[in-house]
Amino acid sequence: MKPHVFALVDCNNFYVSCERVFFAEIRQHPVIVLSNNDSCVVARSNEAKALGIAMGMPLFKCQRVVKQHHVAVFSSNYALYQDMSDRIMAVLSRFTSALEIYSIDEAWLDLSHVPAAQCEIYGQEIRRCVLQETGIPISVGIASTKVLSKIACELVKRHSIFQGVLNLFAWSEEEVDAWLTGIAVEDVWGIGKQLATKLRPAGIVSAHTLKQSNHVWIRHYLNVAAQRATLELQGISCLPLETRKKPRQGIMVSRTFGRIIEDLHELEEAIATYAVSAVEKVRRQRSLARQVSIFIHTNPFDRRVPQYARSTTATLPVASAFTPDILDLAIALLHTIYAPGYHYKKAGIFLSEFQTQEMLQTDLFGIFSLERYMIQERLMHVVDEVNGTWGRHTLCFGTQGMKRSWSIRQMRRSQRYTTRWNEILTVS
């Protein structure tokens, strides 16, 4: 059997790179992108990393450095990033018959059809095309397992000598092991902080020492995830390419508010808004949800105010993707956990116990009106179409409110250059 050839494509500092595509002036400057409410740093350019700005750091903790070094700061613009991601994935799909889109900025390609000696050139060609067609720089790691291709990609980012592509097939085992010695064990994909803490007393500190250890012992001492990582380091592929996109098992929509909410009515607006969005996602993957959970809580970081956090769950008699069904239940649930007098800071909804639309139809004969179900489905389809074409808030439910003054604050969001005609880039 031919060995697998995995190529991991990882976009460099993805959100920052997206902003730089449309803003040439900041291409050599330190740049960061912030999370919702402009609170935490979620993406950094290399220059920003060099200034010591850490991932996940609250903005207020690095405000001094940001001012002093004129760091360009952006709110996150997910419409832009998702659209750029779609374009990149479309380019990648031309280079392989099996593409696994792993995240918004990462994908694996099966390169088994490419001779090992050609893989580096092939990777360079992928890189050139993505850069030319989208403006986004990428790193490519090529190896016989997913974990090794992750490490190859990491080495590419650490060492500019690789010029964006590293093919581990081109190296001897001794040479690969030498590189693995320089990778800390917690930087191996699947080994996080906690597992690394348990491995270190056993003398396992690097990717190389993990590779040298006995995978059965690792399995018992830690867990199956660490065992798989060990085997993959040894070149034994345990993590296959997963090209078939599986529907989500649960869908969560939650937000920290732009300000404190005390009023039940405003909490209703928030829960309603998140519920509408969650059911849209359920419909997009052609599922129906049976279980609805909601939660609300105060700001756990604020020691000065009394804390309150509750969640609750209910199950629909029949799974549904009809927004009013979920919305009514969510609001009823909210009434059961709301307590007046608290400063609420965050709320969310979690939908689960999915069924496919196809399965439900066969289960349903005789249980309830199929006719009514089909009318509801068509109504939701129209709503989705209108909102898809004219913007997310074109057709809303009354409970969502009109002002939504509690919603997230974004002071520095760039234009949605690629998805809104009225925000398209103009050249003068």
Binding residues for DNA, per CB under 7 A?
35-37, 39-40, 42, 56, 58-60, 63, 102-106, 150, 186, 188-196, 223-225, 246, 248-256, 281, 299, 301-302, 345-346, 348, 408
Alpha-carbon distance of 348 to 182, in angstroms, equals: 42
- Shortest distance in whole angstroms from residue 146 CB to DNA: 10
- Shortest distance in whole angstroms from residue 157 CB to DNA: 12
Specify the residue, 192 or 391, whose C-beta has the smaller distance to DNA: 192
Specify the residue, 211 or 345, whose C-beta has the smaller distance to DNA: 345
Specify the residue, 116 or 252, whose C-beta has the smaller distance to DNA: 252
- Shortest distance in whole angstroms from residue 348 CB to DNA: 6
Specify the residue, 116 or 225, whose C-beta has the smaller distance to DNA: 225
Alpha-carbon distance of 100 to 96, in angstroms, equals: 10
CB neighbour burial string for 159-190, b if at least 16 within 10 angstroms, e if fewer: eeebebbbbbbeeeeeebbebbeebebbebbb
- Shortest distance in whole angstroms from residue 103 CB to DNA: 3
Both tokens of residue 247?
């529907």
- List of residues 6+ apart from 264 with CB closer than 8 A: 334, 335, 338, 340
- Shortest distance in whole angstroms from residue 121 CB to DNA: 26
Specify the residue, 4 or 248, whose C-beta has the smaller distance to DNA: 248
- Shortest distance in whole angstroms from residue 207 CB to DNA: 12
Specify the residue, 147 or 329, whose C-beta has the smaller distance to DNA: 147
- Shortest distance in whole angstroms from residue 193 CB to DNA: 4
Specify the residue, 115 or 247, whose C-beta has the smaller distance to DNA: 247
Determine contact, residues 319/289, Cβ cutoff 8 Å: yes
- Shortest distance in whole angstroms from residue 218 CB to DNA: 11
Determine contact, residues 333/294, Cβ cutoff 8 Å: yes
- Shortest distance in whole angstroms from residue 123 CB to DNA: 19
Alpha-carbon distance of 318 to 298, in angstroms, equals: 33
Specify the residue, 116 or 187, whose C-beta has the smaller distance to DNA: 187
- Shortest distance in whole angstroms from residue 286 CB to DNA: 14
Specify the residue, 68 or 172, whose C-beta has the smaller distance to DNA: 68
Alpha-carbon distance of 142 to 191, in angstroms, equals: 20
- Shortest distance in whole angstroms from residue 199 CB to DNA: 9
User: Could you give phi then psi for residue 243, rounded to 5 degrees?
Assistant: -85, -30
- Ordered strands of the 287-298 beta sheet: 250-261, 344-356, 287-298, 309-320
Specify the residue, 249 or 362, whose C-beta has the smaller distance to DNA: 249
- Ordered strands of the 41-44 beta sheet: 41-44, 31-34, 72-75
Specify the residue, 2 or 303, whose C-beta has the smaller distance to DNA: 303
Q: How many CA atoms lie within 13 A of 404 on its CB side?
A: 19
